[in-house]
Structure 1
Amino acid sequence: MACRTCVLLLCATAVLADGDWLEVDLEQGPVRGQKHPGGDLYAFYNIPYATGPSGEDKFKAPLPPPTWTEPFNATAEKIVVCPQNRIIIDLLPGVFDVKEDCLVANVFVPDTTVKDLSVFVYVHGGGFSSGFGNFYQGTQFIREKKDFIMVSFNYRLGIHGFLCLGTEDVPGNAGMKDQVELLRWVQKNIASFGGNPNDVTLVGSSAGSASVELLMLSKSAENLFHRVIPESSGSLAPWSVQRDPLDIAKTYAKMINEQAMVDDISSLERFYKTTSMDAMTAEPFPDRTDSAVYFSPCVERNTSGAFLTESPLTILKKGDYKKLPVLYGFTNMEGLLRIGLFDTWKNKMNENFSDFLPADLQFGSATEKLQVANTVKQFYFGSDPVSNENILKYVDFISDVLFNFPMLWAAKLFVEAGHNQVYLYEYVFVDENTPVVPHTDVRGADHCAQTFAWLDPMFVVHPDTPEYQKMRATVREIWHNFMKTGKPVPEGSSLREWPALSEARSPHMVLNETLELHGVLLPERKSFWYPIYEKHYLDSVPPGSGAGSMMQKNMFTLLTIYVLFYITKNIIV
């Protein structure tokens, strides 16, 4: 998700036409932004930061952006979005402009004469299959602080952004390469808006959070930003990286067209190249019980321009990445994201809990998988069936599998690699306007509730209460501190002292109306999953390296040996 409103700064290269317009010179040509209706900001919308390749090249890396000589009017007549399922888009006819060449940025700058402003770049979420950059409104945050520029942007989604075949034309990670290209665009152009390219914080929530962590691990994005704030997900989530990209591509091709030829890589590539974008986005990606999504980032073959050539786990264990300051955490009920599925899933869980084990676990046999499933079900639900009476345990299970354990595992690997600038938190704030969990009188902070607190979403309004106003102010102060100093609570702050995470995996800050510093976060639930993942983890592999491909390679090797043996035998005879 992203920001809708920020502002443009008057700097040496800017030409102000009048009080309502501001013009700056970019490498591409002059761009005109408009005063935000609420005042104090200039907003630039839909600036092309790259060109999306088209036709049979649509899965390749982004191309250079267009250029122009006349001023480009960066106004928000419509919200440009990348191809995705139209369920939400069609609810608001006339609001969105869906197109394949969708790589645009929005820049928001305070109305100030101060230069070298800090910059934060926001990466939107949406499960890598939906969303758009201009979702979150950063206007109030920028108006309050007046010392930041905000950049939000689109990147290719779903099949368009994350089909990964390992071929020259479909290498994979087009959506992540879009993100890297945006960061390069910021480095080249943000000074024209009055921003400091050497003071960039990268922020993301949900899939954007996983993206932010992956960008920190990728050599292709190194030195393009200086601090990171991954909110409510990370690179080790079971849905953040594809386990076996070719198998996923084959499976989904059959879902689009039962007659699709998928056994041969050339035929599979031809299918995706020639299938229309409308057909590829006609159906929403289904909610999978194994906590995966169909199309997400992948580990690529080690070729020129690759975004990621080793799995996140491998990189984290090696510690082979630039260790930037990290503000890292999640809410206390992330699993509320799946509360709408509870009535259906509780019955499925009771019928076959094995189906709900995450996709990043592997087992030697069905019996072994069943044993682990029974162990997990016993840990969360005891001997009782999943029911309305233990719905909070359902929330805990979904929270841990999708978000909590992957982030806590990564945090452990961070500090073991000598990463000594990681600040861990749990956001727990609720007020009277927070809905209760069904079948209970309990309230909890939903998925990405901390993001909603400091960056106002475009279409969602949390009614203000004095408590929420106070919490919003606290979160904004913490995030602002971190963006400016790399510490959530720098020296001289009135907030409670917040040390970095130690090798003892503590402390963490509980974010509520009153900040509380605690020790290890979720120790029992974290300790439960560690041995399971150490024994059964299924790592990500490049396309063509999965179990099916390995079997084909082994059969080919055996056949080759047999043929050579037969030829040799006959020659000798």
Structure 2
Amino acid sequence: MATGTLSWLCVAFVICLGWVVCDDREERIVRIEQGPVRGYKEKGDSIFTFYGIPYASAPTGKDKFKAPLPGPAWLSVLDAVNREITCPQATIYGTTFPGTVQENCLVANIYVPETSKKNLPVVVYVHGGGYQVGSGILREPKNLVRTKNVIAVTFNYRLGIYGFLCLGTNEAPGNAGMKDQVALLRWVKKNIASYGGNPEDVTIAGYSAGSSAVDLLVLSPLAKDLFNKVIPESGANLAPWSVQIDPLENAKLFAKSKGFKDVDDVYALEEFYTSASMDLLISTGGFFDRTDVSFVFTPCVEQKTSKAAFLTDSPYNIVKSGKYNKVPMLYGFADMEGLLRIAQFDSWKDKINANFSAFLPVDLKFDSEKEREEVSNKVKKFYFGDKPVSQDNILAYIDFMSDVYFGYSSLKAVKLYAGSGNNKVYLYEYNFVDNSAPAIPYTDNVKGATHCAQTLAVLDGIDFMSQDTDETDISEEYKKMKSVVREIWINFITTGTPVPLGSSLPTWPAVGADGAPHMALGRELQLRGALIEERVRFWDTVYERHYRVPQPPPQPPTRHTEL
């Protein structure tokens, strides 16, 4: 906004009317509990955006691994234009996510349609990034909001060690990043009505790690009554990478890698982390190169002694028991999720042939190395037969990676949900691939829908890291697919079912405990039976005998102090 008289006139009109045109942009001021916030609508657009609103405060210093604190308050108008704030995070192959890194990074972004409608349904999107990287603007929901049917929220939460160090002590109880997400949902409950949203009609959605996160929020008593529908997109709470199997051991190994030796004293270990610099805490490079289907610092099972705990039992036990928030779920993944690991194929194929057991999921346990090798050989034979992994069977490699990272855990969770009393879970597989998409290397023009391909159809941009919302330069088929998928998502957000009565889309029943049916989301929508049945049955035989349930860190010893 221009300075001087024009600036003051704009503010005056905004306060009185709620919006005004200044500098070719319409402004809107919204009054929330913390103070007035100003958002903008770009010329020619139909939505107002409010960026960088502090929904909570991340504690710092020795308290930096604790639950978030209340957000700040202000008297003057907060200009909600800051898209740059990011939480401290690791790098991937030397690349850092763009933005301004700061420890106090807990901000929300609100997307509001220009409409006279009130009490709109709300969708809150949790970003992906393996719980290690990303921010709320990694993908944006502008085109979803341009339908004028929903208000959308994205946000930052603490990542990596900052968000998921889990020692079981007072200073680092665990799951700070998940408690950030709960704080955001509480903020939405209190404030979204000021934007025209319905605080009693909130859908939580997420992609990749965000998908795992919303699936975990379903299980947490802290999040009860904060949402009424869930959309997990390519990531399950049962995934091997979703919940740390042994969080204390993970904390010890990282500390050892930085030269700290007194790791068996949990209070010395706590002091190492609470006094560590930001540079040290984000130096977790290589997390994406792990072969055991884990990213190390992710959510954990906490001690049951804490009333503020986010998760006090394993996801498997909670879902099987039926003691969770039974809300409608739109649950699924893409048909070739394993393309997430296609870039590693040339460097990993020889390692797989030399030591396949190193690629078994971290949530499997064995009584001996002999047993581990027996299972390893069984898995390798199932996917690759008696042949070595090579360019000739790259599709089997993709199937294996698809199953261990996303497919099996998602379908296991869906069956458990249906079997424990949730009769409103709608299962899908996204398999649309545009003709312009590149073929899979070493194949005769075989193509598949990659990791979170359905998210690319729903949210903005053409490729996963793009923030370009101009979708004019894509094929007509892809435009049609985006339109159909967004219609399904809007249907679910607004009604709790992907295909409500009166829709022209094919009838879509909820999934049963047998894993059927599911909707194939491709060039044509087709209702089909169970997904990847043979592969699911195979992994059932493995996990029934070798599943390693995530454990909380052990209760720390009583700290003795001198009188």
**TM-score when normalising by structure 2:** 0.92
2:80 to 60, 74, 77: 74
Asked if 1:141 is matched to 2:149, the reply is no
Separation of aligned partners in 1, 2:484 and 2:542: 37
Query: Is contact 1:261-1:271 (8 Å) kept?
Result: no
1:504 Cα deviation from its structure 2 partner: 2.9
Give the partner amino acid of 2:67. A
1:141 Cα deviation from its structure 2 partner: 2.0
Separation of aligned partners in 1, 2:389 and 2:17: 61
- The residue aligned with 1:390 is 393
Change in CA separation of 1:319 and 1:425 when aligned onto 2, cut-off 3 Å: same
- The residue aligned with 1:85 is 90
- The residue aligned with 2:278 is 277
- The residue aligned with 1:6 is none
- The residue aligned with 1:15 is 18
Query: Is contact 2:126-2:136 (8 Å) kept?
Result: yes
Matches within 5 A, 1:148-297: 148-255=150-257, 257-286=258-287, 287-297=289-299
Give the partner amino acid of 2:180. D
Change in CA separation of 1:89 and 1:459 when aligned onto 2, cut-off 3 Å: farther
1:306 to 309, 312, 330: 309
Give the partner amino acid of 2:277. S
1:304 Cα deviation from its structure 2 partner: 2.1
- The residue aligned with 2:4 is none
1:530 to 531, 534, 540: 540
- The residue aligned with 1:556 is none
Change in CA separation of 1:318 and 1:13 when aligned onto 2, cut-off 3 Å: farther
- The residue aligned with 1:475 is 485
Separation of aligned partners in 2, 1:11 and 1:209: 38
Separation of aligned partners in 2, 1:445 and 1:183: 31
Deviations 1:23-67 (A, max 9, x none): 011100111111134511111000000001010100000000000
Give the partner amino acid of 2:432. F
- The residue aligned with 1:409 is 412
1:97 Cα deviation from its structure 2 partner: 1.0
For 1:258, what is the secondary structure of its paired residue? coil
Deviations 1:187-218 (A, max 9, x none): 00000001000111100000000000000111
Separation of aligned partners in 1, 2:293 and 2:516: 28
Deviates more, 1:14-23 or 1:181-190: 14-23
For 2:381, what is the secondary structure of its paired residue? helix
Count of aligned positions: 534
For 1:135, what is the secondary structure of its paired residue? coil
Query: Is contact 2:140-2:154 (8 Å) kept?
Result: no
Change in CA separation of 1:396 and 1:38 when aligned onto 2, cut-off 3 Å: farther
Give the partner amino acid of 1:540. P
Separation of aligned partners in 2, 1:222 and 1:528: 35
- The residue aligned with 2:476 is 466
Query: Is contact 2:47-2:112 (8 Å) kept?
Result: yes
Give the partner amino acid of 2:196. G
- The residue aligned with 1:36 is 42
Change in CA separation of 1:258 and 1:100 when aligned onto 2, cut-off 3 Å: same
For 1:403, what is the secondary structure of its paired residue? helix
2:56 to 43, 50, 64: 50
Query: Is contact 1:46-1:105 (8 Å) kept?
Result: yes
Asked if 1:338 is matched to 2:341, the reply is yes
- The residue aligned with 1:327 is 330
- The residue aligned with 1:351 is 354
Change in CA separation of 1:394 and 1:460 when aligned onto 2, cut-off 3 Å: farther
Query: Is contact 2:128-2:211 (8 Å) kept?
Result: yes
For 1:456, what is the secondary structure of its paired residue? coil
Query: Is contact 2:90-2:160 (8 Å) kept?
Result: no
- The residue aligned with 1:424 is 427
1:433 Cα deviation from its structure 2 partner: 1.7
1:27 to 17, 26, 33: 33
- The residue aligned with 2:524 is 514
1:400 to 394, 400, 403: 403
1:355 Cα deviation from its structure 2 partner: 0.6
Give the partner amino acid of 1:177. K
Give the partner amino acid of 1:459. S
Identity score, percent: 53
1:137 Cα deviation from its structure 2 partner: 2.3
- The residue aligned with 2:6 is none
**Which segments of 5 or more consecutive residues in structure 2 lack a partner in the other structure?**
1-12, 558-563
Give the partner amino acid of 2:446. V
Q: Output the aligned Cα RMSD.
A: 2.0
Asked if 1:484 is matched to 2:494, the reply is yes
1:447 to 447, 451, 458: 451
Separation of aligned partners in 2, 1:501 and 1:266: 47
Query: Is contact 2:14-2:27 (8 Å) kept?
Result: no
Query: Is contact 2:458-2:486 (8 Å) kept?
Result: yes
1:427 Cα deviation from its structure 2 partner: 0.5
Separation of aligned partners in 1, 2:513 and 2:536: 15
1:470 Cα deviation from its structure 2 partner: 1.0
1:279 Cα deviation from its structure 2 partner: 1.5
- The residue aligned with 1:569 is none
Give the partner amino acid of 1:167. T
1:531 Cα deviation from its structure 2 partner: 1.4
- The residue aligned with 1:129 is 132
Give the partner amino acid of 1:35. K
Separation of aligned partners in 1, 2:16 and 2:379: 60
Query: Is contact 1:124-1:207 (8 Å) kept?
Result: yes
Give the partner amino acid of 1:426. E
Separation of aligned partners in 2, 1:37 and 1:103: 29
Give the partner amino acid of 1:308. L
For 1:137, what is the secondary structure of its paired residue? coil
Deviations 1:84-110 (A, max 9, x none): 125689678xx6111000000000101
Separation of aligned partners in 2, 1:102 and 1:163: 17
